[in-house]
Structures are given as structure tokens and as C-alpha cells.
Amino acid sequence: MCLNHAVSDSYSGADFPAGLQRLDAAQALAFVRQRHGLDNGDLDRTHRQQAFLSSVMHDLQDSGTFTNLDRLDSLMAVARKDVVLSAGWDQDLFRRMGELAGGNVEFRTLPVVRYDNIDGQDVNIIDPAAIKAEVAAAIGTGAPAATTTTPAAKPDPSTVVDVVNAGSISGMASQVSSALRKHGYTAGQVRDRQAGDPSTSTIKYGTGTQTDAQNLASLLGVDTLKADPGLAPGHIQLTVDTDFAMPALDESQETSATTTSTGTTGTTGRPGRPGRPGRPRTSTTPITAAVLPAHTRRPITECRSTAVEFPV
């Protein structure tokens, strides 16, 4: 391992001088636990852990452990002293892990929309649709099996959908209203939440709109649906919270997919430190093994002038 600067962190026990050094077991644990004092907190800790695992894999491969049954059995025995191995974690799996040590591995960081503090706890706010898209892009998905579907019923043009933003993402109600208008719904009032409005994603409907409201709830994946005699006849009120994500509509439902995600692929950020939320930071490039060459392409015990070194 090579550190640009000395580090002393009482939380994790990480206490290392600057420069090249080799870690023992206790020091390695402290190294992968540290997040305080790192620019990106938890995310930098994750990158350290990825680099550490990659380095361990390199060492095991170079020592011939993955191709020596006796050494492999000893390694698995040591692992079983501290952890319970899942079914299927046998010699064949460990040998396949050895193949990854040659560099055929990529680490990715899933996108985070923003960071918040809820009930005194630092929380990562995510967009489920963006997460699914990132995973699909990373691992690839085959074409889904052909299924027979019934086209969604077209909404009654006289049904008006009012959208209320109960979340903290500015402009979400307008984005949702615009997407629904493309889907054939008549756009109504767009506003922020007021006293008495639901605080979570909810659909309320007035007289004569029950069918359209049910179809809308199914389309958007909103679970809370209820009649409201206080709404004007012909009106539906859709309330969206921070966790709401507009689903991508297929060609039978929409001419173009629409989403309310404010995150981007490869979004990273500064996780909240104790007592305060973090500051989001976005990037168009996902964090991969290629972005961390010194961490992933050779053991972290090496330090060369061309290597990307570990920051404090």
C-alpha cells in the first residue's frame, strides 16, 4: 500500500505513515474500515475495500493458491473460522475467483440522487429506476420472453390529473404532469404540497374517475388509491414524494420513455458525516476498475511513479 500522506483515524484505528508499506491483518482491517478523513467518506471506503480485495486476489493467484488443492482447502478452512460460507462456495467457485484476479473484474458505484438526514440518521436517497438501469447496463440483460399483453385503456379526455409535489426535488410535479400528458392524460394544476395534502405518493380521485385512477395507479406503481368526495368531479389528484420515480413506458404506452431521476450514471457524492448530510457530486463516468488502475491492476503493496496513490 502507498499513502500520499500520513493518516491517524481513531474511529477505525487506521494509523499509517506516508509512503509504501505492507499491512498485517489488523492494519488491513483498519485500512478498509476508515471513512473519516476521506474526501468522499463511505464511497472512498468502498473503493479502498475494492482495491484491497483485488490485491488479495492477486497475491493468492501469484502464490498458486487457486491451483493448489491443499492451499485452497486451507484458505477455505480459515474463512470458515470467521464467516459462514453460502452453499456453493466450494473449490470450483474459488478457482473461478482466481480467474478474475487476472484483471477481468470491474467495480461500479451505483448512482445516488442526494444525501439527507432523516430522524438523525444520514440517508442516501436513490432513484430505483436509475439503479435498475445502471445494473442492466453493467451486467447486460437478455431480451425478455415474448408475452401477450393487453394495451392499457386510454384515459378519458375529460379526466383532469392534478399533480402535487410532496418531495424535496424541485420541479418534480411539472415533470410528472408533462409525462402524463404525453400518455394521454389531461394536465391540470401543478403545485407543491400544502397542509392537509398527503406526504407520500398517493392517488385520490373524484366522482366519475375511478377507472382512470385505477389505471393510473397501475401505470405508476402507486399503492395508495382512495376516493375523495372533496375533489371536483372529473379530477384526479396525484401526490408524488421524493422516492417516486416515473417509470419508463413501453412503446404501447408512450412515444418516449420519461423519468424524473435527477441522478446520472456514475453519480458519486460525499456521504454525510456524523450530524450533517453530505454534498452530492455528479459525474458522467462510472467509477470502474479502469478509473483506479493502481488499485485494481496490481497489488496495493506496490507504489510506482505512474501509479494512482491512495489519498488520505
Let me know if residue 307 belongs to a domain: no
Per-residue pLDDT, 202: 94
Shared domain check, 102 and 11: yes
Same domain, 102 and 153: no
Q: Look over the chain and give the mean of its residue pLDDT values, rounded to a whole number.
A: 74
70 and 24 inside one domain? yes
pLDDT value for 95: 76
Quick check: is 43 in a domain?
yes
Average pLDDT over residues 138-142: 66
Is the per-residue pLDDT at 88 higher than 50?
yes
Domain count, the chain: 2
pTM, entire model: 0.44
- 244 and 173 fall within a common domain: yes
Average pLDDT over residues 223-244: 92
- The enclosing domain of 207 has a CATH number of 3.30.70.2390
**Is residue 176 in some structural domain?**
yes
pLDDT at 259: 34
Residue 301 belongs to a domain: no
Q: Are residues 175 and 214 in the same domain?
A: yes
Q: Is the pLDDT of residue 177 over 80?
A: yes
Q: Which domain holds residue 164?
A: 128-261
Sequence-distant (≥ 6) Cβ neighbours of residue 17 within 8 angstroms: 3, 6
- Same-domain status, 154 and 224: yes
**260-269 average pLDDT score:** 34
Per the domain annotation, does 279 fall within a domain?
A: no
Looking at the predicted structure, is the pLDDT value of residue 163 above 70?
yes
**Which of 5-9, 17-21, 137-141, 302-306 shows the lowest per-residue confidence on average (mean pLDDT)?**
302-306
Spatial distance between the Cα atoms of 124 and 122, rounded to a whole number of angstroms: 7
Same domain as 252, residue 147: yes
Regarding whether 213 and 140 lie in a shared domain, the answer is: yes
pLDDT of 103: 59
pLDDT band at 160 (very low <50, low <70, confident <90, very high): very high
Q: How far apart are CA 176 and CA 160, in angstroms?
A: 14
163 and 100, same domain (yes or no): no
Is residue 73 located within the same domain as residue 140? no
For residues 65 and 188, state if they share a domain: no
Domain contains 267: no
Asked if residues 190 and 174 have their Cβ atoms less than 8 Å apart, the reply is: yes
Is the same domain home to 134 and 96? no
| Structural contact between residues 181 and 255, judged by C-beta atoms closer than 8 angstroms | no
